[in-house]
Structure formats: structure tokens, C-alpha cells
Amino acid sequence: AGASAFDALRSIVISQQLLGTNEIVLVKHTGCGMLTFKNEDAYGLVAERLGVDAVEELCQNNVDFLAFADLETAVQEDVEFLKASRVVPDEVIISGWVYEVETGRTRRVV
């Protein structure tokens, strides 16, 4: 769960630097749960179910649940983030796609 290039950056670096990959294919999918809430909603659920101490821990660790409101925009922003990142070499090929769960098809966004 997560749907975030920022959240996956550690794995991307390991893949490229240790395994030698030279392409990133970023795929998000329709119906993603990350489209259904905002940070405040997630923090509220944590407070309700786990208590204030759990929320304080999340705040101390600057946890952002990285939800998004628009699928295509999120794909574009993640690709831009990766292209601008100093830990992703310029020669790495990066593309962004949406997988349409309803049809089983993928479409390129960027």
C-alpha cells in the first residue's frame, strides 16, 4: 500500500545501485484506496482506534500518508519527482502509467 514514488525511493536506489536497473515504470491503478481519504482522515482513524500516543508518534516521525485526489496528476507528480531526484541518474528511463482495474488495460500518462 502506498502508491508513492517518494515512499519507494529507498527501494528504487537499491534496485538501481545494487541490481543495475536502468528503467522505472511507475504504475498506479484505478480504484486505489489512496484516492479515498486525506491525511486528516487517517490521523483521525489512528486517534480513534489506537489513541493519542499513536498519533503523537506519527507526528514526531513526520508521517505523511501521501494520499492523492487525482490519479493522473499523482502519476505525473511522481514521475517529475523521480526525474528531479539527485539519487536517480539522468540516463534512467522513467514512465508513468495507469492500470485500469475494470478493463485490465494500461495507459501511458507520461
* Residue-range domain boundaries for the chain: 5-36+70-108
What is the mean pLDDT of the segment spanning 27-53? Answer: 95
**pTM, to two decimals:** 0.88
d(CA 16, CA 89): 9
The residue with cell 485500469 is 100
d(CA 18, CA 66): 27
d(CA 52, CA 33): 24
Encode pLDDT of 20-29 as tens digits: 999 999 999 9
Q: What homologous superfamily is domain 5-36+70-108 in, according to CATH?
A: Carbonic anhydrase (3.40.1050.10)
Per the annotation, does 32 bind a ligand? yes
CB 79 within 8 A of CB 96: yes
Per the annotation, does 27 bind a ligand? no
3-state secondary structure of 58: helix
CB 91 within 8 A of CB 22: yes
